[in-house]
C-alpha cells in the first residue's frame, strides 16, 4: 500500500488555494485503492506564524470542518491534529540533532526574513524565532513519523519535502545499521517521501495575481457566502483591455483560477473567449459560476459540521488514536537505534 500524507497550518480560514492545491488532490488520492491516508491539522506549525490563541483555535475548527465537508471519510482516512501526537515533537528532536544548520539557512521562509532585514539595514535575524528557523525539521517529523510515500501539496511546499528527504536520508545513513540491529527489521528506518503536485493547479494566484496566501491577504475563502465570493472575484486584478479586445491567458490570474475550477473542455472554451475578446466582467461572472458549482454543495456540509465542535472533537480523538498506532512503535525503534530506550 501507498501511504499519502498532508497537512494544513491552522493560522486562518481555508482558501481556494488550499482547496485546489492540497485538499482536493489529497482526497482524490485517498479514494484510490491500495492507499492509506493521513491528513492532519498542522497546529504546532501555526504557533510559528500566529500568536493569537483565539485565531489559532478558530482556524483549527474551520480547517477540521473543511476537510470533512470536502469529502474526507474518517473511516478511511486517519485524520488528526499534530498536537495530539507526542511522537511528532519527539522525532523533531532526533531529527534536529542530525540536521545541518546550513541546510536550514537555505530554507525559503527563513531566507526571506533575513533578506528583508538586510534590506532594511536591521540585524539579519531581527524578529526571527528559533521556531521559524526549525520549521522544516518539524515538517520533516510530520512526514517521517508516518512513513509517508507521497505528499500532495502546492508548489510552495516543494523545498520542505526535499528537506524532509535530506534529513531522513541523513538519519538513515547515521543510524540505519543500529536500527536494523536494535529492531531486527530490514530496510531503512525512515521512508523518503515523494512530493505530489497537481500540475493543473501548481500555484493558484490570489486577487492581486501573486500566490494566493494568508500572508498576502489576497485570498478567496473557500466557504465565502455567495455574495462575498462574487464581490471578491469581481476584484481580481486584470489589465485594462476593453471588451472586444483579445486577452492573454498567459499570466492571467483570472484564467488560472478558471482553469482550476473547470473541466479541460470548459477551460478550452474560455481560452477561445479570451482570444475573441470577452469582457472582464463577463469572464468574472463565468468564474463565479464555476466556483459556485464546485463549492455550493460543500458549503452546506461545512455549516453543519462547524456547528458541532463536540462531534469534530470525537472524530479527531479517534484519528489521533489510530495515528499513534503507527507513530508509537516507530518512535520506539528510533529511540533504541540512537541509543536511548530502556536498559536490557
Ligand atoms: P499551508 O497551510 O500554507 O497550505 C496548505 C496546503 O495548501 C497549499 N497551498 C496552495 N496550493 C496552490 N496554490 C496556492 N496559492 C496555495 N496556497 C497554499 C500548500 O502548498 C499546502 O499544500 N507547511 C505546510 C503545512 C504542513 C505540511 C506538513 C504539509 C505542515 N506539515 C507535512 C504536508 C506535509 C503549510 O504551511 O501549508
Q: Which domain holds residue 21?
A: 2-105+135-204+309-337
In a domain, 266, yes or no: yes
11 annotated as ligand-binding: yes
Q: Are 288 and 144 contained in the same domain?
A: no
Helix, strand or coil for residue 181? Answer: helix
The Cβ-side half-sphere exposure at 71, using a 13 Å CA radius, reads 14
Ligand 1 centroid – CA 42 distance (Å): 10
The kind and range of the H/E element at 40 are strand 35-42
Same domain for 267 and 187:
no
CB within 6 Å of ligand 1 — which residues? 5-9, 17-18, 21-22, 42, 45, 139, 142-143, 151, 153-154, 156-157, 160, 201, 203-204, 211-213
pLDDT, position 313: 98
CA dihedral for 205, 211, 217, 222, sign (positive or negative): positive
Look at the chain and report how many structural domains it folds into: 2
| Euclidean distance between CA atoms 85 and 292, whole angstroms | 36
Looking at the structure, tell me whether residues 74 and 141 fall in a common domain.
Answer: yes
For residue 111, being part of any structural domain is answered with: no
Residue 53 and residue 140 share a domain? yes
Same domain (yes/no): 70, 194:
yes
pLDDT of residue 326: 98
Cα(140)–Cα(342) distance, integer angstroms: 26
Q: Look at residue 114 and tell me if it is in a domain.
A: no
User: Is 235 marked as a binding-site residue?
Assistant: no
ipTM tops 0.95: yes
Q: Are residues 54 and 94 located together in one domain of the fold?
A: yes
Q: From atom 22 of ligand 1, which residue's Cα is the shortest distance away?
A: 153
Query: Could you please report the per-residue DSSP string of 218-258?
Result: ---BTT--HHHHHHHHHTS----PPTTS----TT-HHHHHH
Of the candidates 94, 88, 85, 87, the residue with the CA atom closest to the CA atom of residue 337: 94
Mean pLDDT of the chain: 96
Residue 278: CATH number of its domain:
1.10.240.10
Residue 172 is labelled as binding a ligand: no
Q: What is the CATH number of the domain that holds 314?
A: 3.40.50.620
Most ligand 1 atoms within 8 A of CB, residue of 9, 202, 210 to mutate: 9
Name the stretches of the chain with pLDDT < 70.
Answer: none
203 is in an annotated binding site: no
**327 Cα to the center of ligand 1, angstroms:** 22
Can you name the residues that pair with 7 across neighbouring β-strands?
40
Nearest CA to ligand 1 atom 4: 8
Beta-carbon contacts of 330 under 8 Å, excluding residues fewer than 6 positions away, are: 87, 145, 146, 147
Residue 83 domain-assigned (yes or no): yes
User: Which residue, 81, 102, 99, 103, is CA-closest to 91?
Assistant: 99
Amino acid at each position: 500500500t501507498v501511504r499519502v500524507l498532508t497537512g494544513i497550518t491552522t493560522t486562518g480560514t481555508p482558501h481556494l488555494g488550499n482547496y485546489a492545491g492540497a485538499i482536493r488532490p489529497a482526497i482524490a488520492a485517498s479514494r484510490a485503492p491500495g492507499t492509506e491516508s493521513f491528513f492532519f491539522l498542522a497546529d504546532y506549525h501555526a504557533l510559528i506564524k500566529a500568536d493569537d490563541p483565539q485565531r489559532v483555535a478558530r482556524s483549527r475548527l474551520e480547517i477540521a470542518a473543511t476537510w470533512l465537508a470536502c469529502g474526507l471519510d474518517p473511516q478511511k482516512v486517519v485524520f488528526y491534529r499534530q498536537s495530539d501526537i507526542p511522537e511528532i515533537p519527539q522525532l523533531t528532536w532526533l531529527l534536529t540533532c542530525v540536521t545541518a544548520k546550513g541546510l536550514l539557512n537555505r530554507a525559503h521562509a527563513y531566507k526571506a526574513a533575513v533578506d528583508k532585514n538586510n534590506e532594511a539595514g536591521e540585524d539579519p535575524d531581527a524578529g526571527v524565532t528559533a521556531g521559524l528557523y526549525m520549521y522544516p525539521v518539524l515538517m520533516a517529523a510530520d512526514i517521517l513519523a508516518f512513513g509517508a510515500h507521497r505528499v500532495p501539496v502546492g508548489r510552495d511546499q516543494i523545498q520542505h519535502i526535499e528537506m524532509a528527504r535530506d534529513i531522513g536520508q541523513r538519519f538513515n545513513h547515521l543510524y540505519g545499521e543500529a536500527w536494523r540491529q536494535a529492531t531486527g527489521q530490514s530496510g531503512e528506518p525512515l521512508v523518503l517521501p515523494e512530493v505530489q503536485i497537481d500540475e493543473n493547479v501548481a500555484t493558484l494566484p490570489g486577487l492581486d495575481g501573486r500566490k494566493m496566501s494568508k500572508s498576502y491577504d489576497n485570498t478567496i475563502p473557500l466557504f465565502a457566502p455567495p455574495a462575498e465570493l462574487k464581490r471578491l472575484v469581481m476584484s481580481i486584478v486584470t489589465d485594462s483591455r476593453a471588451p472586444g479586445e483579445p486577452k492573454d491567458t498567459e499570466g492571467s490570474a483570472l484564467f488560472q483560477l478558471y482553469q482550476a475550477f473547470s473541466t479541460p473542455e470548459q477551460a478550452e472554451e474560455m481560452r477561445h473567449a479570451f482570444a475573441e475578446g470577452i469582457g472582464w466582467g463577463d469572464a468574472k461572472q463565468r468564474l463565479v459560476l464555476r466556483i459556485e458549482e464546485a463549492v455550493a454543495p460543500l458549503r452546506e456540509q461545512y455549516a453543519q459540521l462547524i456547528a458541532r465542535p463536540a462531534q469534530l472533537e470525537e472524530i479527531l480523538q479517534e484519528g489521533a488514536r489510530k495515528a499513534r498506532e503507527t507513530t508509537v512503535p516507530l518512535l520506539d525503534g528510533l529511540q533504541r537505534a540512537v541509543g536511548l530506550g530502556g536498559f536490557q
